[in-house]
Structure 1
């Protein structure tokens, strides 16, 4: 297939569809949010809700929302992260998911396409967060998918952030999959009053799951026997990850989410959270990288 780069309008959002090297990616310029990704005739690697709404000012359910400059509930973040925000009510997962990002450019190679986007708080201040930072996001689409999220602190004072690439993965049946590479990791189970536990064996999903893993390895893999594949997550600049699946009751309360959609998705969020937060001095940068690929299981 020849390389195709196409701007498309989905309801209220400007999006970009990239086809190259047998891969297809859809990205919304709002929030620099990857919406979907698949390779050849395989099932999608990235899950997008069948009820996804493409509205200005709200994140789309699914894909890879960018959580920054904090992750989750701000009140659960370290004090240094909380101190940077000056309003009473703090939205979950930070301030950039619904912001208009600037498209810096699109680079085409023989077998890859890269999109470069930026959110610059000097040009577009974030309400309640009066700090000078530049956030850039580069997505490279080839036979695999790579993401690079860079934070530059341009302020005179140090900056502390938490963040995540909130990736929704498509799976055949979450009740049949496991995650390789996390044996022995410490984790906080938010459903057990944030109790700290240690992972024994590979995580599986027998009920609602919301865990923050610490000291995570550079590679984790989703083992999906139903679709005969492993999805590999290779991360750099991150020592924490979040595993999330809403299961039945919570799924019924989520927006843009069919009641039974929990069966076919799993979030593994490559992150910098809790004691893995990012501390930047003036003019210092941090790079969070994630590469996604898949391999077939031996028959």
Structure 2
């Protein structure tokens, strides 16, 4: 059996687990069931964590893979069906309600070919403010030489439940100005920085300024090409037909919390999601699974 190791630790106010499997290392927090960092085989990190990250109860941590649920972004920008789930959509916080709450750790299990962590959040037993619905979230994280993330949403109520959601993944890159994202050719996207205009993307995506786009009809496979680090990060998803790409660039970086003025150079968010036309409506007892698998290979393969 391959070597694995699990260590529980306290980072300021947060309970976390450091998980090693062979040459891979993962750090995950009980608050929000948030992956904080991930690294393969002494390479540069694959998942980015801010050098100024603050580990405080009730506050999100900058970086990693926050879980945005039961809505993504500004609730008032969501379709009406998602807004209607909340009592006061005009005052609802950005990115939902579960990323700053403790989830229950169900178990950490060694497998023949990896290690697996399971977390659950149940809004029937841990009610969410101004969101009076019963649902269960189950997050499964598996390391087997790759990183696999599965987020399962189940409607425990007897009426339909409309949700948007995202795995808000921060990826580490050598220099955002020198990387490209492959796989978006032909996709429609909303250019949120220019009055939410709908456009179509051509070719690989490269970066020369602030980026905040919602891509629709995205394929299962995307990749980040990083020539300086001579690697390609592969992202394979299912249960998602939309993705948000974000980098704050120079000006917005100055206004972000837990974010150094030059941190924009070394990160890129690609957030596999169910947003806009891709929201999910779960009928009584119905469930939906959003999967994401991540791995790297040398550039040129």
Instruction: Give the TM-score normalised by structure 1.
Output: 0.99
Superposed counterparts of 1:1-299, under 5 Å: 2-87=3-88, 88-298=90-300
CA displacement 1:87-124 (0-9 Å, x = unmatched): 35100000000011000111112441110001100110
- What SS does the aligned partner of 1:178 have? strand
Q: Secondary structure at the match of 1:263?
A: helix
Q: Aligned equivalents of 1:172 and 1:149: distance in 2? A: 29
Shift of residue 3 of structure 1? 1.0
What SS does the corresponding residue of 2:39 show, helix, strand or coil?
strand
Q: Secondary structure at the match of 2:177?
A: helix
Q: Conserved in 2, the CA contact under 8 Å of 1:66 and 1:163?
A: yes
Q: After superposition, give the CA deviation of every residue in 1:164-197 in whole Å (9 maximum; x if it has no partner).
A: 0000000000001110000010000000010000
In the alignment, the residues of structure 2 paired with residue 186 and residue 51 of structure 1 have an alpha-carbon distance, to the nearest angstrom, of 35
Q: RMSD value over aligned CA atoms?
A: 1.0
TM-score w.r.t. structure 2 length?
0.98
CA offset at residue 4 of structure 1? 0.6
Runs of 4+ more than 3 Å apart: none
Tell me how far apart the structure 1 counterparts of residues 101 and 72 of structure 2 sit (CA, whole Å).
Answer: 16
Structure 1 CA distance for aligned equivalents of residues 191 and 205 of structure 2: 12
Check conservation: 1:8, 1:14, Cα contact below 8 A. Answer: yes
Shift in Å, 1:298: 3.2
Q: Verify the 8 A CA contact 1:21 1:111 in the aligned structure 2.
A: no
Give the total of aligned pairs: 299
CA contact (8 A) 1:20 1:111 kept: no
Unaligned runs of 5+ in 2: none
Structure 1 residue runs of 5 or longer lacking an equivalent are none
Q: Which secondary structure does the structure 2 equivalent of 1:227 belong to?
A: coil
